[in-house]
A and B are shown apart, each in its own frame.
Chain A
């Protein structure tokens, strides 16, 4: 789960990580009310769940309150990579002497939370990582000890020389780690972390993601969720035990198991088709689940054929077939459907489908080819 920059800033502040003052506004009226009359340099930033806001024109500098209002009028409601800006953050601008990068992430290789830092912060950090990876400092954190002060100092000493700056930075790192662990985060970045001319270390922009598996114990974080339209469907599907991701193609896929679902999409693509979605219905043959899955699938108006690919393991294919038939009776769609069943009791399952009057195939590749053919009619 993702949160907005302003929400990450709130969490930073709660944990004692210094951030410049700022307010969140949903409308121009709110800007007029919340932003003080004082003339000072401020930044007006779109709050949307995509990167590249600055390049898209979603981040603007303002010198006066009047300018803040003027920029807010432009940014609120604008479209950034298909998303409408509904919120802006108006934050005090700070003078920057130097920019740094710090981040925490779950690292599969070390199986630990890994701290990363670089003296080359800012928007080009990924380029830095690619071109000169030696400029990124990495440290795996022992979960039983946590990030110890001396470790944080060791990292800070590689970014700063002045003891006061080292101390401020080390404290920020320790607090960021605490926040990360407390909230079951999967990513916490400060980019940039800046040094001001009066030698203060501040977090200017923050990004945090959270482990979906841990949301059951993170009620406060869950309350921050701001759901996009596309995500809405995915979240609804997840609540029903289905894993759904919408894509741009026209062949709807319903598969049991994530790996097999991906392999099914791959095969459609391999034979020149275009999958409309990733949909994993899990292990159950429950007809209700199949109906839910079909409804989600067919709510995508681009779908012109459906491929159902089930491998029966513990779940028997004849059970799955009965579930499908019940589901199809209920849905009654005109869209052509290809069903492929394999594994335990596949023969019996295919009989049931055939008796129902739907085309059946035995292998995945046949099914993919057939679905592509039908999608073109």
Chain B
């Protein structure tokens, strides 16, 4: 078991002929991900890395039975690519693209809901179920099969922590980078619920950042629903209260968003918060009685 993806996941790549798309397609394939097709409008019929290319997501899904799609198309077209995948019936969409306009993500949201599509990102490194399926730009070699789940808003900080976990003998089930944009797909809370229901995952590491209140909501969810231990880290504790968004920013979050607020919320939920990333493996071991 794992969450969201496994060895049976059939992946298509939207933007497979682009520079990043082609590069990471080959990396994912090497890892063992089952990539069944790629999309590049107007280039249907060719092959990339031995993978058939289609003009539309609809054709690709019909021909291959794909149930997941990863998006590498440039930011101005990413919202449309997500819509296309959702209307074609793809169950899970992972948008790697950075810099997608917020209004585009807002427009995508009701469509995903209507079609029952799950989305990760945008502006995220993707996700991995260790030894089974890697989707996105994560470096596969740092992961090791085990029982720790990991969710993060960051990219390289995630790799840093995964590396530390692996070095200290703590392997992982599924690791998910949910992305750092203000409006995005699955949030911490949604994923915590999946980890709670996954028999293989025994503990979860949550890496948050300042801003927004996804961490506060996660803390509330943990307090109310989680039986499995969670260890957290919040990046940006030293960041000065800078670029705030006028009155409305303060109003909408009602004081949430600072590192102190998040740490307080986790403390109230019995979640230890590491002072620095290096403390995370120790805290996980303590929680698991290792």
* Interface hits, A316-367 → B, CB 8 Å: 342-344, 363-365
State whether A343 and B235 are in contact (beta carbons under 8 Å apart), knowing that A108-B212, A259-B207 are contacts in the complex: no
Q: For the complex, is B251 an interface residue (Cβ under 8 Å from A)?
A: yes
Contact B142 A143 (CB under 8 A): no
Interface assignment of B242: CB less than 8 Å from any CB of chain A: yes
Q: How large is the interface on B (under 10, 10 to 19, 20 to 34, 35 or more residues)?
A: 35 or more
Most central of B103, B183, B245 by chain A CB within 10 Å: B103
Say yes or no: B156 contacts A207, CB within 8 Å.
no
Using CB atoms, name the residue of chain A closest to B139: A313
Given contacts A111-B106, A245-B242, contact A191 B247 (CB under 8 A): yes
Residues in A with CB closer than 8 Å to B158 are 259
**B242 and chain A: residue at smallest CB distance:** A245
Residues of A within 8 A of B251 (CB): 103, 116, 125-126, 129, 136
- Asked if B109 and A143 make an inter-chain contact with CB atoms under 8 angstroms apart, the answer reads yes
Q: Which chain A residue has the least Cβ–Cβ distance from B142?
A: A343
Q: Mark B249-281, 1 if CB is under 8 A from A, else 0.
A: 111101100000000000000000001111000
Interface residues of B in 140-197 (CB under 8 A from A): 141-142, 152-160, 163, 180, 182-183
Task: Assess whether A260 is interfacial by the CB under 8 Å rule.
Answer: yes
| Given A103-B247, A108-B212, A114-B252: A259 in contact with B156 (beta carbons within 8 A) | yes
Contact across chains for A313 and B156 when beta carbons are under 8 A apart: yes
| Contacting pair B160 A342 (CB below 8 A) | yes
Alpha-carbon separation in the docked complex, A113 to B182 (Å): 12
A-to-B contact residues, CB < 8 Å: 51, 101, 103-109, 111-114, 116, 125-126, 129-130, 133, 136, 142-144, 181, 184, 186-187, 189, 191, 207, 209, 211, 213-214, 216-217, 245, 247-248, 255-260, 262-263, 265-270, 275, 278, 283, 311-314, 342-344, 363-365
Chain B residues within CB distance 8 Å of chain A: 24, 27, 75-76, 99-107, 109-110, 137-139, 141-142, 152-160, 163, 180, 182-183, 207, 209-210, 212-214, 217, 233, 235-240, 242, 245-252, 254-255, 275-278
29 contacts between A and B (CB under 8 A): A103-B248, A103-B251, A104-B248, A108-B183, A112-B106, A125-B251, A129-B247, A130-B254, A189-B247, A213-B99, A216-B75, A247-B240, A248-B240, A255-B156, A257-B154, A259-B157, A259-B158, A259-B235, A260-B154, A260-B160, A263-B157, A263-B233, A263-B235, A269-B237, A275-B238, A313-B156, A314-B27, A342-B160, A343-B160
